[in-house]
Amino acid sequence: MLPAARHQSIVDAVRRERVVRVSDLAQQLGVSLMTVRRDIEMLEESGQVERIHGGAKLPGDASTHEPGFELKSTQLTAQKRAIALEAAALVHEGMAVALSAGTTTWALAKELANGPRITAVTNSVKIADLFHHASAGSGRHASTVILIGGERTPSDALVGPIATAALRQLHLDLLFLGVHGMDADAGYTTPNLLEAETNRAFIAASRKVVVLADHTKWGTQGISTIAKLEEADEVICDAGLSPDAQRILRDRVGRLRLV
């Protein structure tokens, strides 16, 4: 297929599906992933599509905007710490505990790093570093930290097939899941397609799922659903959550904790 025809096929797919994956396009067009990525770069320069992590989308769709870790870590710090303290009480010695990437789970990691000895599994370099530095200065036997591999996103997540394959081999007691948004219809969402896949692998590997999300996450939709609301065993949120949101979550989640 000539480049011009290939480009038109990509544009048509984006207009039809709104969001498309590089891997799906490569399979459909019979070309390499690198070729598709180059095509998307050229189409982005002409304003016909917009690149996202792992794919392309229609230009200007806010549901795929992914704020960086440094910006998010300065927002709602008091609420995130209160959520973290509540979550830390669920962790006991000897547990295998997963923490997805994010600033609220990072706040939890700060509490757990000097807590009971656990096996911590994460796809966040920042969370893994936090455990490492905490144990380096202590005289006690440190927690074991497993950092899965993958491609790094703006929200400090390691994602993709390497991350997903690693998680399929694990059996975890407890998952603390950070999310970009919560919505009655869309469930728990993220603006990153590959991060959604990796988080679904976290859920599949875990006996219990606890979502950590401040009240501003309610009503926000990322482009990709991680899980339905009822797939979480618990949600820990701050008291700023609206009464309607509280009612929906109490109806559909095992337990809602407000701090």
189-225 confidence digits (pLDDT tens): 998 899 999 999 999 999 999 999 999 898 888 889 9
Distances (CA, A) of 198 to 164, 194, 205: 5, 6, 11
Domains and CATH numbers, the chain: 3-57 (1.10.10.10), 69-258 (3.40.50.1360)
Selection from 193, 199, 195 nearest residue 57 by Cα? 193
pLDDT digits (tens, 9 = 90+) for 74-100: 567 899 999 999 999 999 999 999 999
10 Å CB burial of residue 226 (0-12, 13-18, 19+) is: buried
Q: Give me the phi and psi of 179, to 5 degrees please.
A: -135, 155
Q: What is the pLDDT of residue 87?
A: 98
What integer is the mean pLDDT of 38-61?
83
pLDDT at 162: 94
pLDDT classification of 64: cutoffs 50, 70, 90: low
Per-residue pLDDT, averaged over 223-249, amounts to 95
For 158-174, how does the pLDDT look when each residue is reduced to its tens digit (9 = 90+)? Answer: 999 999 999 999 999 99
